[in-house]
A and B are shown apart, each in its own frame.
Chain A
Amino acid sequence: MAAPIGVGERPTRRRSRTSSILDGAPRLLLLAPVVLLYLLFFVWPILDVILRSVGPNGGTQQVPTGWSLDNFAEIFKDDFLLRIEWRTVVLAITSTVLTVLLAFPTAYFISRLSRRTGAIVLLLILVPFWISIVVRLFAVTSLLSPNGLLSEAGQLLGFQSFSLLYTFPGVLVGTTMYLLPYMVLILYARMSGLDGNLMQAARTMGASPWYAFRRVYLPMVRPALLSGGLLVFILSLSFFIVPSVLGGPKDQTISVYIQQQIDLYRWGVASAMGVVLLVVTLVCYAGVVRFSGGIRAGAVTSVQAKGVSSQEPFRWTPGTVVCGVIAGLSILVLMLPVLLVFPMSIGETGTVMFPPRGFTLDWYAKVFEGKTWTAPLIQSFIVATCCAMLSVAIGFILARTLQRMRSATFRAVFSGLAFAPLIAPAILLAIGIYSVELRLGLTGTTLGLVLAHTIIAFPFAFALISSALAGVDPELEAAAWTLGASRNRAFWTVVVRGILPSVVGAFALSWVTSWDEVVLALFLLTGATKTLPVTIYQYLESGILPTVPAVASMLVASVVVVIVARAVVSRRGRVRREARSAVGAA
């Protein structure tokens, strides 16, 4: 296989194109199924919904006859629909504002902590982020219910028993809990990258802390603030699970309405709403690109200053105290529901309550009796594993293709297309794929769900793998060739081996994406065996059995184990890397 290379001859790019596994004609062969999958399960579904929205009777026939904008007209005329739209927008705006108000001080506080402490506090944000939203919502329902923790705490303080469940504030708790980790992570990434010297520089020039914050800090963080805010707003516009679990009939959003309509097989208005959602999302996303793409910051040569100066020393000032308190509140909002599932799972009573009465582990045993839980567990596991393997493969093929592209425009378009499934509103994708799979006869099958999940999971794998590949020195691969390694061998033993941690990360991320996914699974897997989140979701709607907190506890525990293991492994990897670089230096 190896094309022999003469001693001292420099391997050129042209030569490298000839025989590597992902090069030339084989590359196209590998790319073709990916493109086909993308067309079938992403492009077609969206086109389908668009066609249905302009077709008569929801365009249920194969070939639409004529078209009209009646459905769109109805959206903007019908009082009932206008109310739903208004509610959705109000919910999205309040959720976004609340999230930003909480996330900004939280991220600021964490970014000011020492790297070590910061990493631990960040873990408290990350653990809830990785736990399925239905599990967290389940805990929130019992928190907010009339005999829940919140109400009981209120009664201790002398208030009446109350319930936030099925109210607007209740929904807001859920949405904020859902959005907070996204916003904190986006802001933290920016804030922790800021040069602490900048704020100190402002002070040496006579700026008061407030002046420096307004004139230096805020402008530097603004791109992240705006793009993060818009991203969170996009997510809030297509809220589906949270309002449908926590909200009352008056809190239903566009997504919930769409789902109800599709259940009744009324596609017309639902499709039109999906399209409107898509358009609004795209407009907001254009804003995200504008803000995060148009930054000049970071262009200054940043020589890592010495130990003393690299970080602004942490001081307890009124500002950091307030931020610390808000950070504590944010972590409480995120962690309390996660931790609450454990005590709720051990009560002896047949109904779930908090605080638990008595102590028993029977519910854990019951989970493994019969097929109520074991079947969904196995189903979810199969779907997630298949989806993760497919996603990593696709991620590799796309990342390698991107790596070979020279034109900046092509690269931008290529990445844009690859990330598009992440931006598309979940409900739109769900009904679109549902419609396509109906035509293909794939609904209700495991394969249908795996392919659908792959569409929303592969962009993560692609992102991780391509950024890892970009970090690999191309000279390394060339060096392997000069040592006589074949293109294949060089690729697998040098390139892939070098980015293995990222590949594992890509697998884990796509796995969890599929494992936690509810909306697509709700539409597509209509058969007897549902996935785990869907099963929990249905119990949330019909009524909770004590086995639900037991399952939730096991899910939470497994996520915690994985995250802690990852932290340990990556630390060990870091130590090993440092040892290696020390060898290199010697």
Chain B
Amino acid sequence: MFQFDLLIFGNTGWGDELLISTIMTILVSLSSMFLGVCLAIIITWAKISGNLIVRIIANFYTTVIRGIPELLVIYLIFFGGSATLMYLAKIFGYNGYIELNAFTMGTISIGLISAAYSTEVFRGAYYTLGVGQLEAGKALGLSRFQSFIKVLAPQMLKHALPGLGNVWQITLKDTALVSVTGLVEIMRQSRIASNVTHSPLTFILSAAILYLILTSFSSKAFNKLEEFTNKNDSVTQ
């Protein structure tokens, strides 16, 4: 049953370990979201104004990532990545076992997943603006890059914010899957603790509560951000 005494801080409880693992979850989520958004900007650009080959590659990427389970993507990046590296190392005469850093590989795999979702969000935001904005920028003598940075991007960000909030929630929850690679985040820590103490209910329930706290706080934060970006809308209406 639920044992509160196991959750205290210090040598006898697992409270401090859980806190550290929560920080790890936040770090993995933030870095994968950052990687995802950076990649998504490039892929969106490829989808909107790339040539046929680039567009096909970008569409293939988003279709495949959104069509196969997240767990498979993580396995593929984590085990496939180290297998590829070992193969390359063999060419250079190194025959040992190489294990990659779980944090880096976790960030890359979750980042690749969230990039596919963010791309669709950005693409949707771009299409709500329409080409008129680009044409207006051209009429004012702005270069294509200038009108993207000064005219399109700020407006796109505003339209993309609710969608990005959803992607953030998905990314945060997907980090639980990184536990299979051995990275000690909330899920992994709670499994370790429940194996040691034989009290799975306590720790998995604590993990659920920690995730709930993270997701509800971040949804509050995104609501505040949306209020901020929509401030001028409510004035004009």
A and B bound?
Answer: no
Interface residues of A (CB under 8 A from B): none
Interface residues of B (CB under 8 A from A): none
